[in-house]
Chains A and B, each alone.
Chain A
Amino acid sequence: MAGTTLKSSSTGPALLLNVLNVLCIILFAYFTYTNFNILTFVEIYIIVSVIIQVLMLVSLFNVHPRKISNVMEGIICWIGSSLVFHTIAVLYGAPLFSSVSETFHLAMLLATTAALPGLMVLGIRKEEWTRLFFKTSPSSALEISILASGVCSVLGAWLGAFPIPLDWDRPWQVWPISCVIGTLAGYSCGLIFATCFILYQNMKGSKSKLF
């Protein structure tokens, strides 16, 4: 990542998007803290998050809505990725027949935080995905955010499974609440990390411009 040169024009909007996403999560956590139903929480969050992403991307980045067929493909990939995440959760030990809806909500959330931004910005071109996620060479501030938040939200979901076996008998230990919390926490951490990283890069960039 170190060698990446950032297009300064896209930095500001990317930061704005990150901050907005993090704020969105914090607000959600705050409002649903007392009255917590995991399913509605996830549903509403996904809707809000999708709206924010689409609006921001269209208005700030001039990402023209691609042809309708591309949008359709993207949506199909998004649903497909939630199915893949669902399968992964079941393989990790989520019940196969019971609480299917809960598991699928987590899968949708993961698809939204980890796959959707990538789908919107990178499209479904595989080379782009390989470049970003395997070679970790993002070409813009936006891509840094996508990379960091995607990896961190999956990592967060993974870490979120750890407290489940503890015998504390807390309501948040019930499947999949801790994983949902982990996903969102990871996602926010990724965004914050990306923001800091972009700022740091920018400062370095401006310095080198000065001298």
Chain B
Amino acid sequence: MAQTQGAYYVPHGSHWPIIGSFGLLGTVGGAGLWLNEADIGKPIMAVGIALLLFMMFGWFGTVIRESIGGKYNKQVDTSFRMGMIWFIFSEVMFFAAFFGALFYARTYSVPWLGGAGHGALTNHYLWPAFSAAWPTNGPAGVGGAFSTMSPWGIPLLNTLLLLSSGVTITIAHHALRAGNRKQLLVFLALTVVLGVIFLGFQAHEYAEAYGHLNLTLGSGVYGSTFFMLTGFHGMHVTLGAIMLTVIWFRCAKGHFTKDNHFGFEAVAWYWHFVDVVWLGLFLFVYVL
């Protein structure tokens, strides 16, 4: 079915994308129905997600087979790299929207409601009892009183965890390039373990927040930004950990060579990206 076009490999036809599209439609259509309280929503969403997973297995499987089959030359490799880089850039911009919301709330909307600048009128006419402070759940106290997480407990630990996972994956990368398989596998595994511990702590933290601090997604703008940012980050860590696991198996199978291991590098980049986002989170969500 597939054939090489001159030097650049151009695959001929693939059924995976259309399966993926059905998967996406099922996922979001199901989610939409579910949010609108239709019983059929959940099963449809489940089918959609299953289709997406099926698509990913199939699609990546094909790519891996082609890659091992030596179909990809340097130029194809470069295309993949650019694809990954720009994908990560798009993710950065996705997080930028939420960071933007956080900064906006902290520097504009909350002080304004508290009477800063021209906002004196807003405060006078609408929210006379409100004085600006951060964290806050707003002049109406949406979600009820809550307490916040200290940055110097679990969050600090999590920072250290992620930072060291950045180091371990770099060591693994060096090992891969040096052809040291054992070191590669150990340090890659370590990276996954660190990631999973991070997630464990994060889950614990959420349980703490909901269970004891009354800090929820509904806790005004603080809760909103807190959980959206850490939540989306956590989802990305989860995804990264899964990708790392897949890569570990591929390393174990010997899919990668010293100078041909785009898959590994792509995931490593992703992991670093997740890492850097966390640093931003730690600084702006927890510490400041």
A and B bind:
no
